[in-house]
C-alpha cells in the first residue's frame, strides 16, 4: 500500500495557516479593521500601538495581498489615508482563525 503521511492527522498536512496573517502585528491590524469600517491611518496607529513606519510597511503588504483597501484623499489640503478590510481580507481572516482553531484543538490537553 502506498506510504502516506500520518493518516491519523489528515488535517495537519492540509491546514493552511496564512503566514501573512500569522504575524501578530498584522493579525492585530486585521482584527481592528474587522470591527470597524473605514479607519484612518493615525487612528489605526493609535488602536494598534504601532509606529507609523511599522504600520505603513505592514499595510503595504496587506494591500499587496488584497486583504485591505487603502484610500488616499485630501481633507482641507491635508493628506488623509483611510483603510478598510476588503471582502477577501475578511474571508482570509476568518479562514485563518478557523484553521488555527482546528490546529490548536487537534492535540488533546
Three cell numbers, residue 44 = 489605526
Please tell me the distance from the alpha carbon of residue 93 to that of residue 104, in angstroms, as a whole number: 16
Q: How many whole angstroms separate alpha carbon 59 and alpha carbon 41?
A: 10
Shortest approach of its own copies to residue 39 CB, angstroms? Answer: 13
Nearer to its own copies, 78 or 107 (CB): 107
Q: What count of Cα atoms within 13 Å lies in the side-chain half-sphere of residue 60? A: 5
Please, what is the minimum distance in Å from the beta carbon of residue 3 to DNA?
Answer: 17
Residues near its own copies, by CB under 8 A: 5-6, 12, 17, 19, 22, 24, 27-28, 31, 34-35, 47, 49, 94, 97, 100-101, 103-104, 106-107, 109
Amino acid at each position: 500500500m502506498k506510504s502516506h503521511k500520518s493518516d491519523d492527522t489528515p488535517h495537519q498536512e492540509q491546514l493552511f495557516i496564512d503566514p501573512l496573517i500569522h504575524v501578530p502585528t498584522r493579525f492585530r491590524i486585521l482584527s481592528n479593521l474587522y470591527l470597524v469600517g473605514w479607519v484612518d491611518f493615525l487612528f489605526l496607529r493609535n488602536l494598534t500601538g504601532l509606529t507609523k513606519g511599522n504600520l505603513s510597511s505592514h499595510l503595504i503588504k496587506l494591500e499587496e495581498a488584497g486583504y485591505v483597501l487603502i484610500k488616499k484623499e485630501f481633507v482641507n489640503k491635508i493628506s488623509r489615508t483611510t483603510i478598510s478590510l476588503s471582502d477577501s481580507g475578511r474571508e482570509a481572516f476568518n479562514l485563518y482563525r478557523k484553521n488555527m482553531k482546528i490546529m490548536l484543538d487537534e492535540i488533546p490537553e
